Structure 1
Amino acid sequence: MKPRPSLFTPPSRTEYDMADPMSARKNCAATVLGGPTTLIDVGGLRILTDPTFDDAGHHGYLNKTAGPAASETEIGIVDVVLVSHDGHPDNLDNRGRAFAMTAPLILSGPLSADRLGSPAVGLSPWSSHAVARGDGLGELTITAVPAVHGPQDGERDADGNINCEVTGFVLSGEALPTIYVSGDNASLDTVAQISRKIDGIDVAVLFAGAARVSTKFNGRPLSLDSRGAAAAAAILGAKIVVPAHYDGWAHFSEGRADIEHAFFEAGLSQRLHIAEHGNWIPLTA
């Protein structure tokens, strides 16, 4: 992607009026609902990442420990659903999948999109899809970027993926912050590659719970751990980091306190923006 000058300035810490119903759209803000599920209101569009709306309970070998901060009914209509991968229930559970299929557009990797079917569109890494903005100011470009769902030296499957195909996304548009959504990526090499190809990432939504499954890759992290998230923030130069996918499931080995401590030790606490699930975080000044 062609480098561009950043038009973004970081937000003040003024909070949005939380008396507004969840379905009321915000002017460029994000809220984490639990697990990886994050609402991003940008350019007059509502984007939903990796929907997981089931109540707590077992999903095979994974155990969901908490439901979302808002239900699919409460968040209202969404314009685009981003699915980093469809094969793991902590990124797309039963109710999340049903809700995603009602959206006008799902963007995912090619393999996931093939399995999901319409309205899913598959994007290979570095390919883009443009969506008309709801504010009438042109288009929002959504670019697929690589993600590695496990250690860099992990065994690759027949499709060349570690663990499975996973896709990250970058959202960009004129006079909007450029927003990176990592998906279940554990690779700092991949983060560095993204930072070289896409200049001026302003906001990073990082899946940062150090997910671990004892039977996979000797129990090594399948997503960023807290120190990796801080390192990713530094590599990207993101002014705002919104962590997600660090609670709500039993296989996350690190939580909010670990993330806050890692950013403190790295001297990056001012970049870290964590709110209680369901509270909005402004992404522009």
Structure 2
Amino acid sequence: MAQLPILQFEEKIVETVEKNSIVVIIGETGSGKSTQLSQILHRRGYTKSGSIAVTQPRRVAAVSVSRRVAQELDVKLGEEVGYAIRFEDRTSEKTLIKYLTDGVLLRESLSNPELSQYSVIILDEAHERSLNTDILLGLMKRLIKFRASNLKVLITSATLDGEKVSRFFSNCPILNVPGKLFPVEIQHISERPKSYLEASLKTAMDIHIREPEGDVLIFMTGQDDIEKLVTKLEERIQNLEEGSCMDAIILPLHGSLPPELQVRVFSPPPPSCRRFIVSTNIAETSLTVDGVV
């Protein structure tokens, strides 16, 4: 496994968490914060006195990140590592690291206001600023007064204004973790397209015909646009001459897809085949999809 940037800061993170009840961690996309922070604290014994809760703003992220962590720790999903989203709870008595949506944690706080089952609560992707996340930030501020001795709260984000959050939590420390392991080249089109859907389709096809192997990630605004583009891409690719370029698989990714279809984006493509992943902005910060060039 590639060494993720956050692992170089393990000692600093652990030291800061030991000395402070609340820590803000600003980690760029790709730094590994969603998968590694819980594992770092688990290694350092924080799961002896309770489990670690990691909130995610989206269900897809809660499911896929917990799968990844279970795989890295080589445990069965639903045992030491599990997830809880609306209508689905894959956790057990054994669960030490639990990924859950912020809505699920809010509901848990109604039945157990002190959230006493957790020794660490990590609010991940707090820059998404949903109503749930904002309420949780307020709850954490109150909770830490009651449980200052036996609760740690970490607030992580890719782009959040750390100073503001730190001020809200009486000037708690801020750690910055660099991310982006890959150089990114940005190219803009010269004129504004009449339909960004058609423009995306044309660009995707140009890349498919001209460029060497590597997957393509296309962002659309929502499920409706994703479905339209997937259909058009499939038609275009079927109409190509056989053998004129490599095969392609087209995968949609959005919150309404059933989990078994969502996880397809994490399995590598067959040899000499390109994947087109058509996604909402979930693949921008919550998930990192391997193979995209």
Provide the TM-score with structure 1 as the length reference. 0.29
Tell me which protein shows more helix as a share of its residues.
2
Of structures 1 and 2, the larger Rg is shown by: 2
